[in-house]
Every structure is written in structure tokens, then in C-alpha cells.
Amino acid sequence: MLAEMALWLVTPANRMTRRLGLVTESVSLWARGQRQRKAWAGHHARCRTAVTETMEALRQRRTVVILGSGLLRDVPIHLLSANFERVLLVDAVHLPLVRLRMRFHRNVELVTRDLSGVMGWLSGESDRRTDPLADLAADSMVDLVVSANLLSQLAWPVEDWLEDHPAEAERLPADLPARCIAWHLDDLRRFAGRVVLLSDVTMTERDRTGTITDQLDLMRGVALPESDESWDWPVAPFGEEARDRESVHRVQAWRDFC
Ligand SMILES: C[S@@+](CC[C@H](N)C(=O)[O-])C[C@H]1O[C@@H](n2cnc3c(N)ncnc32)[C@H](O)[C@@H]1O
């Protein structure tokens, strides 16, 4: 707990990123990933395999862009760094642990950016979404883009914020969380290079008898094309969030999204 608090304090992030809970979420993800290393290993391995095999099939390996790079558990960062000329890690939060590790890779750059494009709109600094990927989508050197378990994460901070700020919410579209998901898919479709999309799409909670106690569409109704593969990610095994409840997410992978 102390380590988590210290990490929260020393992680650089702007005010809105903190207010939306993204620093807290990154720190919790780090801590939970340590506790659930074994349970999450299969999920991380499948993500890394999808990226590795896609990379191996590419003719050119100039720039690779990782969107939602976070703790880099689901991408083969050493392999990417060794095979591409340039590696861009894009996230709203880069924990100091990641910053430190990446210092040893000369061709890896950290880009701090809001990939929903709506933080300024929520805070009242702008009256519309800003395009978060205009520069990178226009860069013809980008041969591979990986959206690394980011998509589902674009909706909940906006949802929570709208709920906590009913007065400000009136000037914003009620379906903004779903729009954030749809916009990210549109953003990915603009890249000329290969795009790998990895995302959890549903959450299922069960009790110890196997009875489903809750289910959530993490895509908020946004339709997706058929994926290449899918698997379960035991995000919260029994005992993690509650003694008698587990939460499992269904993950889908698209190796050539656009
Ligand atoms: C489930 S984690 C992804 C896991 C990560 N690929 C890993 O291996 O650790 C989701 C990531 O999306 C990032 N994220 C969430 N909302 C974001 C936003 N609006 N802009 C940029 N990054 C965001 C979080 O900071 C987090 O690192």
C-alpha cells in the first residue's frame, strides 16, 4: 500500500489525467499485475505472440507505435526495440518504473498523450474533441501500430466523470463514452501501416457456483468486426476483489485491423 502511494505521488501527470483517475488506475494495475502474475501470464503471452508474429511478417520495420503502452506487459518491447528503427510508446501515464527501464533503449521514446482526445472538452478548455493521432497517422514511416488493451479503458473515466459532474455533463453528449471507443477505432483505420488491435470486450462476474452475477459490454454497444482470435483474461480471480466473486474479461485480437 505504501509503495502504491509513493508511486502515485512520484508519477508525473497533468491535472486532468489525475482527476480522471488514470494515475490511480495505472498504479493499481501495476500492483494487481504483481499479485496476479501467474493468472495473467496466459493473457500477456497471447498478446505478445500476436504482436511478434505480425511483426515477423512485415517487409519494413521503421517505426512502431504502441498505443496504451502502460506497463509494457502485453507487448514484446525488447524484440520491438531490436527490430524497429524507432519505437514510440504512447500513453497518458508512464510510471517511473517504465521510464527507468526504457532509458536503456536508445530507440524508444515515451509520448505522453490523451488518446481519447476529450480531456480538454471535459475540463472546458475546448468545445470539441481534439485529434490525438493526427501527426502519427500522417507519418509514412509508421509500419506497425499496436493498440494494446487500451480501447475499453477509454470509456470508463469519461463515464465516471459525467456521473460526478452532472452540471458540466449537460453541455456534453450523453453517449460520449461510446463515442470515445468508436473514435479510437476510426483513428486506427487512418494508419497506412499494419494495425494490431488487442482489447477486452466483455466482463463477466461469477460466484463460486459458477452463476453469472454481472455482465458488462466493455464496448458500450459499439460494433466490432470479427476478430482473429479471442481468449479469457482472469482480471480478478476469487479473492482479488471479493472472496466469493471472480471477474473474467473476454479479450479479442485483430492482427490486421484496418
Ligand atoms: C489496461 S492498460 C494497458 C496495458 C498495457 N498495454 C500493459 O501492458 O501494461 C490501459 C492503458 O491505457 C492507458 N490509458 C487509459 N486512458 C487513456 C487515455 N485517455 N489516453 C492515453 N492512455 C490512456 C492507461 O494509462 C493504461 O496504461
Mutate to test the pocket of ligand 1, among 44, 65, 91, 147 (most ligand atoms within 8 A of CB): 91
Nearest CA to ligand 1 atom 15: 153
Query: What's the CA gap between 77 and 52, in Å, rounded?
Result: 10
Say which CATH architecture domain 2-254 belongs to. Answer: 3-Layer(aba) Sandwich (3.40)
Query: What's the CA gap between 157 and 160, in Å, rounded?
Result: 5
**pLDDT digits 0-9 by tens, 120-161:** 999 999 999 999 999 999 999 999 999 999 999 999 999 999
Contact partners, residue 180, CB within 8 Å, separation at least 6 = 116, 117, 118, 154, 155, 158
Mutate to test the pocket of ligand 1, among 25, 49, 150 (most ligand atoms within 8 A of CB): 150
Q: What is the pLDDT of residue 172?
A: 96
Q: What is the pLDDT of residue 121?
A: 97
Distance from the alpha carbon of residue 112 to the mean position of ligand 1, in angstroms: 11
Grid cell digits, residue 150: 487500451
Q: Long-range contacts: 12-19, Cβ < 8 Å, 24+?
A: 12/94, 12/112, 13/92, 13/93, 13/112, 16/114, 16/119, 16/120, 16/122, 16/123, 17/92, 17/93, 17/114, 17/119, 19/161
Distance from the alpha carbon of residue 115 to the mean position of ligand 1, in angstroms: 9
Helix boundaries (H) for the chain: 2-10, 15-19, 22-35, 37-56, 77-83, 96-102, 119-123, 134-137, 156-164, 166-169, 176-189
- Listed by start position, the domains of the chain span 2-254
Q: What is the pLDDT of residue 214?
A: 98
Rounded (to 5) percent helix, strand, coil in the chain: 40, 25, 35
**What is the SS3 string spanning 98-139?**
HHHHHCCCCCEEEEECCCCCCHHHHHCCCCCCCCCCHHHHCC
Q: 3-state DSSP call for residue 176?
A: helix
- Which pairing describes strands 142-148 and 63-67: parallel, antiparallel, or unpaired? parallel
pTM comes to: 0.97
Distance from the alpha carbon of residue 150 to the mean position of ligand 1, in angstroms: 5
Q: What is the pLDDT of residue 68?
A: 98
Residue 117, ligand 1, Cβ within 6 A: no
Regions in the chain scoring below 70 on pLDDT: none
